[in-house]
A and B are shown apart, each in its own frame.
Chain A
């Protein structure tokens, strides 16, 4: 009834997805800090 194996198979997607979101957000964060420093 419950697809436990299927759910476990989504774990790598979830980990990659969250890591991807954080990577992009951190890159944006760094770029904002740099922009603020350059264009005071």
Chain B
């Protein structure tokens, strides 16, 4: 009887499950060998294998006529379906971000806004390819280059493609050093890439650092009330960091909280990586659209910098615009390195970091705008 059962399990393995095992193995490989977003890709890769075993007890199954809830479903329902994990993760991320380079050079904020162009461009492309508006919005938000925002928005619209969207979002964030340079080179000249930008930061007092997260929350909350949970939790984390009296909480948010939520988030996402939900034509389209979103984010940022240069006496290196995406700090590093490749004496890092942290705020605001403009 037991032998029959094991044989039954073995014959229940479908080719789609094998594809998911392979995808899980690739994610684990990328996490360990290439060190690409390992904190997320490794749990997701393992989870992809865990939920695609025949009759996996990690998912809801009926055993002898009784419905049993699996632990992955449970984690998904208590942490992702109600948007709790991404919001808690935002407290940790907010506590990690030093907005100093942005506060001392606030002009960089504009590039964060411009580099959200890919989100809205991809929205149209996804609809063109046949996705309904809610799923298109969920896919487009991959362009936020921000995992928690992608999870929050995709889940808000109850997208059935959450798994593919999260895999695409985190994969492209890790691939920023490969995706952005050719796009930047294609739309800039060598002369533009060699533009030097002197760094003259304004001094920023502690009062400004403390007031900043509160002011951002109020402004974003008034402009896009639906974004206030996202922005508010990000800024709450930053306030803990900057207030100066909650060092232990700040450390906990940056380390223990962020690590714990990341761990649970990665494995919980596997609930949406079941073969029947994942192995289909739409997943390939979502991966393609995610790439489109990142490319047009970069294009939006760079072209906006070029546009500003038409009116500006002090020219901006247009590559700075590309750092306006939320993928921190990879994007800033990419831009700085590209600047140094053209001119060893060109130091763009601090400008790029300013644009990059601006992208973190702007991506969350863009997510809030999407939620405000497209009904659930």
Contacts and interface: CB of A to CB of B under 8 A. Distances in A.
Interface of A: 1-4, 6-7, 9-11, 13-14, 16-18, 20-29, 31-33, 35-36, 39-40
A30 B345 CA distance: 32
B136 A10 contact: yes
Interface residues of B, number: 45
Given A2-B129, A13-B374, A16-B373, A23 B223 contact: yes
Contacts of B106: 28-29, 32-33, 36
Contact of B361 (A1, A26, A28): A28
B223 A20 contact: yes
Contacts of A27: 219, 223
Sort A-B residue pairs by CB-CB distance and give the 7 closest, nearest first. Answer: A14-B120, A39-B207, A7-B128, A25-B113, A6-B127, A32-B106, A20-B369
B116 A21 contact: yes
Contact of B366 (A10, A17, A29, A32): A17
The B interface, classified by DSSP as helix, strand, loop or mixed, is: helix
Contacts of A23: 223
Interface stretch (B10-18, B39-47, B210-218, B249-257): B210-218
Interface of B: 103, 106-107, 109-110, 112-113, 116-117, 119-121, 123-125, 127-130, 133, 136, 202-205, 207-208, 211-212, 215-216, 219-220, 223-224, 358, 361-362, 365-366, 369-370, 372-374
B362 A32 contact: no
Contacts of A10: 120, 123-124, 127, 133, 136
Contact of A28 (B127, B204, B216, B372): B216
Given A21-B369, A24-B224, A25-B358, 12 more contacts: A3-B128, A6-B133, A7-B128, A13-B120, A17-B116, A18-B117, A21-B366, A28-B106, A28-B215, A28-B220, A31-B215, A39-B208
A18 to B, nearest CB: 6
Contacts of A17: 116, 119-120, 123, 366, 369-370, 373
Contacts of A21: 113, 116, 362, 365-366, 369
Contact of B123 (A4, A14, A28): A14
